[in-house]
Copies of this chain bind each other. A is one copy, B any other.
Amino acid sequence: MTFEPQADLSETLRAAFRRHASGVAVITTTDADGGAVGFTATSMTSLGSNPPLLTFNVARGSSSWQAVSQAKYFAVHTLGAANLELARRMAADRNLRFAENDWGMVEPGVPVFEAATAVLIGKTREIHQIENNAIVVIEIIDGGVGETDEALLYNQRAYFTPGEKLD
């Protein structure tokens, strides 16, 4: 191959994904005490629309894993450019993630940020644990579209909006 190997296979994976763009989502749920839990995710993707399913991946070493592994319901928010601060906040200090007054608890018991470009409320269908990670499969049971905005994306360790449309 003409492709340049990296120091090891873990770094090869990281180097490839730095070149890959990802949409940015915020995923929320509640813990066993009913407390709000959430995080920014770049792994959220559709699994099919009939029935409507999506997946996201999570590290089992993350602070949210215990709540995620036991949760029955989730809210998945797609983000726009105006949600940049929210994306950063939900990827930083977990004690500050719900410190602002920009969310509310919605049936069947999930925290929802009203400024998102869309929200999908889902129930857990399956969780597959693999090595130190897990794949979570959610079936959508409610949701709708919110603010119209340019999509927020992550690439090369920074946030962007889509630029030139290619023909």
Where the two chains meet, the residues of A that have a C-beta atom closer than 8 Å to any C-beta of B are 1-6, 9-10, 12-17, 19-23, 25, 42-55, 57, 59, 76, 78, 80-81, 84, 106, 112, 114, 116-120, 125-126, 128, 130-133, 135, 137, 140-146, 149, 151-153, 155-156, 158-166
- Provide the residues of chain B in CB contact with A9, threshold 8 Å: 51-52, 140-143
- Of all chain B residues, the one with the shortest Cβ separation from A12 is B143
Q: Please tell me if the beta carbons of A14 and B151 are within 8 angstroms of each other in the complex.
A: no
Q: Which of B4, B48, B140, B160 is close to A12, meaning CB atoms less than 8 Å apart? A: B140
Complex: A153 Cα to B23 Cα, angstroms: 9
- Of all chain B residues, the one with the shortest Cβ separation from A43 is B45
Contacts A120-B16, A130-B126: A3 and B145 contacting too (C-beta < 8 A)? yes
